[in-house]
Chain A
Amino acid sequence: MKNRLSFTLNGDRVEVEVEAYWTLLHLLRNHFELTGTKEGCGKGECGACTVIVDGMAINACLYPAMELEGREVLTIEGLTDEEGGLHPLQKAFVEHGAVQCGFCTPGMVMSAKALLDENPKPSEEEIRTAIAGNFCRCTGYIHIIKAIKAASKGR
């Protein structure tokens, strides 16, 4: 049995029918075809599925779609501006070589976005804490941390 929901997705109000057992990740990738949000472990450990719900970074793989009624969801696809230009965080990731294979990048950027929205000038320790739940198996994190620092200085 499908359930009718309405919520805000990347700034647009959407109405959708979901199955009770769907996760937010399933809804984003399979229904909305927003495949920027990745499925890594599916257990809330790797952070590849990180999106922002009501201002908070969460693991979309463990978030029941049924809980979305009235909420505001922001995914990596919602970061670009009207003309499709990159968000300052995305630019910083590119400029600092913070991307290698790229699989963790959307989740990493969303965790960084949630951090900077709440705390515009974080310390290195605070940056590390904010991305502790985002695994990157390529970069060794150094350039990612540099990129987030640079983005915070540019604000």
Chain B
Amino acid sequence: MHRFSYAMPKSIDEAISLMEGHGEQARYVAGGTDILVRIKEKKVLPDFLISLRHIPGMAYIDYEEATGILRIGSMTTHRMLEKSPLIRERYPVLSDAADNIGSVQIRNVATLGGNIVNAVPSADGAIPLITLGAQIRMKGPKGEREMELVDFFIGPGQTLLEHGEVVLEFLVPKLRPLTGMAYFKHTRRAAMELPILGVAVLLSLEDDGITCSEARIGLGVLAPTPMRALNAERIMQGKRVNDGLLEKAGKMAAEECKARDSIRGEAWYRRAMVEVLVKRLGRLCRERAKK
């Protein structure tokens, strides 16, 4: 095993100053389930790991009734998301995804923040969040900042996170009434699998229960970064949500998705499955929205 030192700061500021003091050879570690594998495989060889686990108040799922804003701390584990009744009831798109990440052992330790920051194309934790229109908030040597999560990803393993910055939390804006949402991870087997693609759909209906007031479609794994199918979203707005419309949206999403050939799936197949899954999840969202 590659040798490194290990620090356990008690505050974010302490973590940031440790990182500044150690430069490029230092890495933050959240759950550690990804970086320890990469260290064992000698893909990264940091001299210094800075654990974020001992900073109080970084793991939480907090819904503010007054504003309707959901805040999820970056150190929240997938298991916490999976087990949260609030998430399962109000944000099932997040539990649909959390349920299927790794194994129980991994979900008990691995964090949402770690999943996002690693920005591995096969990591599907981001897809529900970009579909919810989440913002990411971080803090670094130059202070705090926020941005749309969808803009945070710039390539495989690449994000706009600057050296020394720590992700603090994810903010999910207030949902419209009559909103349904769902995520589907398309895999070859039932568990312990990295997906061929992941599709999330969110659908808000007008009071009539049939007209779409807003649609959002998040796609991932099939492209270098998670993405929204904006054209497909646009054609749904203001229309009656029936199978014909969902079919059109599926075709549109398949057309605009940046599907590529990779070890996990070929582009043509991924596009075909986007078409199918957008339609299928759209129907599920329509049902969930009415409840």
Contact = CB atoms under 8 A, between A and B. Distances in A.
Interface in A1-38: 1, 3, 19-23, 26
Contacts of B160: none
B2 interface: yes
Contacts of B29: 64
A63 B109 contact: yes
A50 interface: yes
B237 interface: no
Given A59-B105, A64-B51, A132-B191, 15 more contacts: A20-B3, A20-B49, A21-B3, A43-B40, A44-B105, A56-B109, A58-B105, A58-B108, A62-B32, A62-B109, A63-B109, A64-B49, A66-B6, A132-B104, A132-B192
Interface in A43-73: 43-45, 47, 50, 56-59, 61-64, 66-67
Given A26-B1, A43-B40, A132-B192, A67 B51 contact: yes
Interface residues of B, number: 27
A56 B77 CA distance: 12
B8 interface: yes
A133 B33 CA distance: 14
Nearest to A134: B103
A32 to B, nearest CB: 18
Contacts of B32: 62-64
A152 interface: no
| 8 nearest CB pairs, A to B | A133-B103, A132-B191, A20-B6, A56-B108, A66-B6, A59-B105, A62-B36, A43-B37
Contact of B104 (A42, A61, A129): A129
A50 B1 contact: no
Interface in B235-275: none
Interface of A: 1, 3, 19-23, 26, 42-45, 47, 50, 56-59, 61-64, 66-67, 111, 114-115, 128-130, 132-134
Contact of B102 (A50, A130, A133): A133
B77 to A, nearest CB: 9
Contacts of B103: 44, 47, 132-134
B5 A133 contact: no
Interface of B: 1-6, 8, 29, 32-33, 36-37, 40, 49, 51, 53, 79, 102-106, 108-109, 190-192
Given A45-B192, A64-B51, A67-B51, A133 B3 contact: no
A128 to B, nearest CB: 8
A130 B104 contact: yes
A27 B135 CA distance: 40
A42 B33 contact: no
B108 A21 contact: no
A6 to B, nearest CB: 15
Contacts of A19: 3
B51 A66 contact: yes
29 contacts: A20-B3, A20-B4, A20-B6, A21-B3, A21-B6, A23-B36, A26-B1, A44-B102, A44-B106, A47-B103, A58-B109, A59-B106, A62-B109, A63-B32, A63-B109, A64-B32, A64-B36, A64-B49, A64-B51, A67-B51, A67-B53, A111-B104, A129-B191, A130-B104, A132-B190, A132-B192, A133-B104, A133-B192, A134-B103
